[in-house]
Amino acid sequence: MPAARSVDAPSGALPTADEAVIRALYLEHAGPLLGYTLRLTAGDRAWAEDVVQETLLRAWRHPEALDPARGPVRGWLCTVARNLVIDNGRARRARPPETGDAPLLSVADERAEDEFDRALLSWEVAEALGALTPEHRAVLLETYYRGRSVSEAAKVLGIPEGTVKSRTYYALRALRVALEERGLVP
């Protein structure tokens, strides 16, 4: 019967002695060890498979444990697997529980939605401002956008303070009508 090829070995190469030992160990003990670890991990198959893999890796790192004179190999493997499950359980309890990505995704979606809504609203307001006369836009720009007082806006625009007040009043009324036409104000 031809020798089995190693997965990592080039085509036609024979497995090394270490690979042969691990393969034999896996073939003989992996199934029962997986069943045992499934019971220890309360049916968590991924965790159980990780434990089996780590157990076999430790067996490969400690070949002295595989000596039949020391006792049955499966008993040693089960002890290692049990200790790994206990250690992993302690580590899980020592750190905060993992929540997954769902909370982060919902926050990201809400923020993106809020930013999108704000962008649309500012676009609509800009269009409504564009519908105003240049004089009304200039008064609103100075008093609301730049935060100037009536007297400061009057000096910048070169018009009397009373004109700034009346233009501001009529500009806000015109802006409200423009926003109502766009469905932004009830």
For 102-181, CATH number? Answer: 1.10.10.10
The C-alpha atoms of residue 119 and residue 126 are separated, in whole angstroms, by 10
Q: Cite the DSSP H helix spans in 133-160.
A: 134-140, 150-157
DSSP per residue, 31-58: HHHHHHHHHHTTT-HHHHHHHHHHHHHH
Q: DSSP secondary-structure letter at 9?
A: S
What CA–CA distance (Å, rounded) separates 56 from 54? Answer: 5
Q: Please, what CATH class does the domain formed by 17-94 belong to? A: mainly alpha
* Per-residue model confidence (pLDDT) at position 4: 40
Q: Which residue has the tokens 């049916």?
A: 43
Domain ranges of the chain: 17-94, 102-181
Residue 161, Cβ density class (10 Å: 0-12 exposed, 13-18 middle, ≥19 buried): middle
Q: How many residues does the chain have?
A: 186
The DSSP secondary-structure symbol of 159 reads S
State phi, psi for 150 to the nearest 5 degrees: -60, -45
Reading the chain (186 residues) residue by residue, the pLDDT tens digits are 334 434 444 444 545 667 777 788 888 888 888 888 888 888 888 888 888 888 888 888 877 877 777 777 888 888 888 998 888 888 877 877 666 666 666 665 666 667 777 888 888 888 888 999 999 999 999 998 899 999 999 999 999 999 999 999 999 999 999 888 888 776
**Two tokens at 169?**
């009043």
For residue 149, give Cα distances in angstroms to 107, 125, 136, 143, 173: 39, 22, 16, 6, 19
Asked if 80 and 72 touch (Cβ cutoff 8 Å), the reply is no
